[in-house]
Homo-oligomer: A and B are copies of this chain.
Amino acid sequence: MAKPVVREAARRRRRPTRSGTVLSEEIIVGTALRVLREHGSTGLTARRLGAALGADPSTLYRYFAGMDDLTRAIGDELMGRALEGWTATGDWRADLRALGRAIHASYLAHPQAAVLTASRVTGRPREIAVDETILGILRGAGLADAVAVGVYHAFIDQSLAFAALDAGSLALTEEARTGDEEMWRSTYARLPAESHPNIAATAELLARRMPHSAYPMALEMLLDHAAARVARSGT
């Protein structure tokens, strides 16, 4: 690595780019989110981001080790925003539900960015803060460590996995205006009842439900499971 990246905290000199803007990790990540929204999940390129920042593409390598490193920073930003829009109440079940929805919503607020990042563990500070919070809620509810870790694992993986999946269709819909509901109606509703009796019988219900996320339902299932464990540990 000929050009070692300087940590944001240790950054001293702030030299403006040719177009006048002064860069920072924060500004770069924010601009990357905008570029992703405008150009789709595959539209974030070093050249395009450089142009959006008014800087040479290679300048990015002064702030991130590569596009992959930048991608993880974007993911951490979404995690951070999820935690910002959440406050503890003391009711573990309500808190966990709210946190799950906050994570899901934070990623879905930037579907194109979520597609890139949601299926990756970043190991960055704000993701770790979320993990700490979840474990705190579960242990605070009275679950034994082993059980808390199990529920935590299912919770975070489920939240991220659904965020990635749901963001995928959302981003796709916005990129190519195919209309997902239309796809369901056009593809699935046309299947003959002889070969696909079950799809044919439920085509209308499918078309109405599939464009929406199954995450809320999965989240409630997880909360039910956790509640059962909490009740058992209480006796």
Residues of A within 8 A of B (CB): 115, 119-121, 123, 128, 131-132, 135-136, 139, 145-146, 148-150, 153-154, 157-158, 160-162, 164-165, 168-169, 172, 183, 187-188, 191, 196-199, 201-202, 205-206, 209-210, 213-214, 217-218, 221-222, 224-225
Question: If the complex has contacts A150-B209, A165-B164, are A158 and B218 also in contact, measured as CB distance less than 8 A?
Answer: yes
Q: Which residues of B contact A214 (CB under 8 A)?
A: 153-154, 157-158
Question: If the complex has contacts A128-B196, A214-B154, are A164 and B162 also in contact, measured as CB distance less than 8 A?
Answer: no
The residue from B123, B187, B206, B213 contacting A187, defined by CB atoms under 8 A apart: B123
Number of identical monomers bound together in the oligomeric complex: 2
Contact A128 B191 (CB under 8 A): yes
The residue from B132, B160, B183, B197 contacting A165, defined by CB atoms under 8 A apart: B160
Contact B119 A168 (CB under 8 A): yes
The residue from B157, B162, B199 contacting A157, defined by CB atoms under 8 A apart: B162
Contact B132 A164 (CB under 8 A): no
Residue of B nearest to A215 (CB): B157
Minimum C-beta distance from A19 to chain B (A): 32
Contact B139 A198 (CB under 8 A): yes
Question: If the complex has contacts A135-B202, A161-B162, are A154 and B119 also in contact, measured as CB distance less than 8 A?
Answer: no
The residue from B123, B206, B213 contacting A149, defined by CB atoms under 8 A apart: B206
Q: Which residues of B contact A218 (CB under 8 A)?
A: 154, 157-158, 218, 222
CA A154 – CA B131 in complex, angstroms?
24
Q: Which residues of B contact A161 (CB under 8 A)?
A: 158, 161-162, 164-165
Minimum C-beta distance from A212 to chain B (A): 8
Name the residue among A153, A160, A213 with the largest chain B CB count within 10 angstroms: A153
Minimum C-beta distance from A180 to chain B (A): 8
Contact A123 B165 (CB under 8 A): no
Question: If the complex has contacts A150-B217, A217-B154, are A128 and B188 also in contact, measured as CB distance less than 8 A?
Answer: yes
Q: Which residues of B contact A145 (CB under 8 A)?
A: 201-202, 205
Minimum C-beta distance from A59 to chain B (A): 24
Q: Which residues of B contact A157 (CB under 8 A)?
A: 162, 165, 213-214, 218
Give 23 pairs: A residue, B residue, CB < 8 Å, sorted on A.
Answer: A128-B188, A132-B197, A135-B199, A139-B201, A145-B201, A145-B202, A146-B205, A149-B202, A149-B209, A150-B209, A154-B218, A154-B221, A157-B214, A158-B162, A158-B218, A160-B165, A161-B161, A161-B162, A164-B164, A164-B165, A218-B218, A218-B222, A221-B224
